[in-house]
Structure 1
Amino acid sequence: MDSRKLIDSTRERMSKLSSIFALSMVMFDRTYETEIIQFAADSVAALGSARTEGAYLLRDDLRRVGDGSAALQLRLRSLAGSDGSVHVAGAPWARAYALRAVGGHAGYLVVTADTEPPMDQQYLLRTLAQQIGAALNSARFTWRERRNVVELRNLNTRLSELNEQLTNAVADLERRRHADERLNAVAASGGGEAGIANSLHNLTGLAVAIEDTFGNLLEWCGPGRPMPYPRMSPHRRSELLTAARRSGRPIRQRDRFVALAQPRNEVLGVLVLIDPDHRAVEHDLFALEHAAVVLAMELAHRRGMAETELRLRGDLVHDLLTGTDDESARFRSTALGHDLSLPHQVLVMQWPGAGTGELVARTIERVAATMLDTGVLLSWRAGAVDVLTPSPGWTGMRWRELYRSISTRLQNEDGAIGVGGSADVPSKLPRSYSEALRALRIRQESMAPNGVTVFDNLGIYRLLATGDGDRDRELREFVREWLGPLVDYDAAHRSDLVTTLWQYYECGGNYDMTACALAIHRSTLRYRLRRIRELTGRELGDVENRLNLHVATRAWQILRGSD
């Protein structure tokens, strides 16, 4: 070869090498593998007669290659990172060039040709493969760097979030610790309900109310106390307590949060956080919840103490009502803080359907102590509460006011009270007790069974309230004398002539009222009254007959209830 051809050949090689390095610069600017491979594949044809069959990349260290025949993939794996000839269907000549670089082996570039290219072209193809490998490694490094930057940024963001959460958690724990200390200090110091309400108000900045199970206000701390304090209906109150029990946490009820003081399964009280502007946050609810626990402990302790005292008082009341000497009675009552040196009288109360005997007794004790402005002794038994109170010298109006106050507290008007006479010494209290029982029975057997009856106000009916055996026999004989024929007729014919006569006098002789009370027609009433006149032989309108017959029917009612 002459020098001229050698120079031209060298110039052509240098030109193609320059093109390869120019291609390399372009490939290094690419950041996606597919762009690099596509750009390089399109450039193979510019280096000579060879064509690009395909590029096969190694990914994720699994040494997987791209699409191609199984034989071709097996051959590429066997090359293990070296250049080598391969078989491509329909190609007289095919060779795989390893995409190697400093970063490692990236895969293969497979080229084909109709005839084996000259060595200088094969050299250019090897050089191009090396540049492709370097560009691929550079792109992968760039992607790793970008990914690392993103991951680092995400980690920094997460770290900032965790730091903020940790700071908030520490602040929340500090607030909870402070709430625990404040409320536990109240419990330890015996601050009671007022201390709990005050501490919760200081912790939350919101007004606080403590209610009993019926919704009556026990304590208030903070501004805006409503006057009078609102109360919901018993049905809605029951629904609220049921929802709070099911939740197990404070619940919102309109403009306030409600938490139960419930040491076991019985609600002893309700703690309320007034929040009309929805200012309460989580640590306020935690303080409310913890305060409810402290309140439950306080109420349970007070209840235990009260139960012990009530048992002692109940034992004393039982002995006083059944009979004991004056000296021991006064000594035991003094130990319980009650003065029996004053005249006392007995009250017997029944409030069916108003709850447990203990609940009724506590309510009666609270109302009686408030209205009488002095302590009382009481005990409860099946269906009744017995109360010993210093004689207040009340008139009938004040006794009715006592009944109304208890009914309001219990939200139940189906009660009755019997008031015995005054006893100047403890040993006479059994008589007052007997009188209270008789007064209660008279009330319950009357047209208005709900209310209060005072034994001293019975007048002639006190004759019906004696517990003396001889007097009772006399009373039975009196009833027999005036009502005997009617009683016998009722027993023989299963009729209600005595009841009709009693109701007739109870209604003041008014036909319409009597017929309505007995749920019978006026003509039926007239027939019965005519039959009563025939059987008794007495004129029902006569003053003396009217008095004796009315008294006899009252006595019959009482005696019938005692049999």
Structure 2
Amino acid sequence: MASPGSAPEAELSAYRLRRERELNSLYTTARSLTALGEVDEVLRSIVRHAHELIGCDFAYLSLLDEEGHLIVRASAGTISPEFSSARLPPGLGLGGRVIESRAPYWVSNYRAAEALPHDSAFDLLVPREGLMALLGVPLLVGDEAIGALFAADRTERPFEKDEVALFSAFAGHAAVALNNARLYEQTRSSLERLKDAYRTIEDQVATMERAAAVHESLTHVVLTGGGPGDIAQLLVEHLEGTVTVLDRDDRIIAARSPGAPGAYAGAALDPALREEARTTGRCATARRADGAHVSVVAVGAGGGHFGFLALARGHAPDPADVRMLERSAQILGLLVLMRDARVEAEERVRGELLMELMSPAPLHPAQRDRALARGVDVDHLDTLVVAECPGRTASDVVRQLKPLSARWSGLAGEYLGRATMLLRAEDPDAAARALHQELRRALGAPSLVAADRITAAERARSFTLAQRCLKVMRALGDEDRGAGTRRYSMYALVFDPDRADDLDRFLDDELGTLLAYDRRRSTDLVATAAAYFAQAGNLSRTARALHVHLNTLLKRLDRIGTLLGEDWREPESALRLQVALRLHGLRAVVDGEAPGSAG
């Protein structure tokens, strides 16, 4: 039997294997580029690693000929010889859609995809190969589509967003490698034909070798777990200028200069230049007022925008420098994509750990070890917090709690539809106030936070107390506050299920006669008494609040006196009755009953 923690561990293991496939494919493609191999060799390498990367039944790559036909040039995993040399006329099939749109496109069942214009010759090959689900992404060199890369399965299924994004990022990388291999072949042919142009060709080869060396260095950064700062420093060393990396919110996350590696010597990026880079997907260059040339490339992968990469220096970049910047932006996009996937997996595991801790079952040692690996000592999680924000879902609130949980060495997630957090705190009330301030600032709206000290590892009980305490806070008019449940201990009879019998006895002693009378006669004496005390005994205001005539009110008050005794408005009796009425109303809110019910 699998342990409770096996599913998350399997998921993390699968994620690590997928990441390893990504990096291995990236490294192998880079080696093909560095070796300046033959085009056919690069084509075979691309489909082989694409097949491994996406984990599909088979993969193939088609290139456009001079007449616009898509011709299969390489495949991996195919079984039909005819399919390995298939031709698709312009504008037909899924390949035609990918070339025309220059964007990824997929179908879960190619044969049933009526929205695609089918080619009869190609459709004859589909059943022989068993093709069913098909994903295609364009191979782009600048704005030009030179072909398409396909992943296919022999069973019907959808392609997830992450698969499409990853396959698109790989296709962009593959297009660079293929284009460089083509350039190398063209250069070698020119060298053979034009002996008198040897010096020029030698310079071109040197430029390509420099670009290949940089690309291999970039790949090494990825393989060794480097980040934007490492890539920025590498570009500074090769391009001799100030390099800046901005995230999707235009915040600087890395900046390097030749004179001071940790300093930012550039200026704010021109919005028009950023927009051009983002719109075209190419490097955009402009000259600043101080004479420096600024080159900007948008960082993205799979159609997502992750920020910008900028180079500032005294002279404009040459074509090789532009390619280097664009290639670096692709690598940065892949890094962000992998980082986001890693963060998402980590957050999912932390949420699952919280669910396991809330379970009454004993914690498995493996679960305890997984928590310790994330800096969480489950034996010291002594406080439970429940939070809510009107107009926001529990998922929205959890999204803000998760980064806070790491600072508190705790866990955050959604439990029974509530934003919940387990943490370690000396004072639950102080913790609730601090978390309330953080949440209010992050959400930009009033919020409520209740914290309860966990005793004897009864986390489920603390959850019940905290979430019921929130209802009491709201019923008392608190709409923007953080507090511990002890601060509302005078209302504990209402929100503590273990004291429900005490509350029942108290309410029965003080209100039982009125409640029974209301049930039998369909009257509303309980509400009348509550309104009377709420209006400080003022008869006119009480009548207006109840929307009844003054004579009607007087008759009701006389009836209350008859049932409770004429001293019901005396200080001692009135105090007990007011407390009972208040607790009765609060319990109706907490339990979701009508305030006048017997409860």
Q: TM-score, normalised by structure 1?
A: 0.49
Highest Rg: 1 or 2?
1
Q: TM-score, normalised by structure 2?
A: 0.46
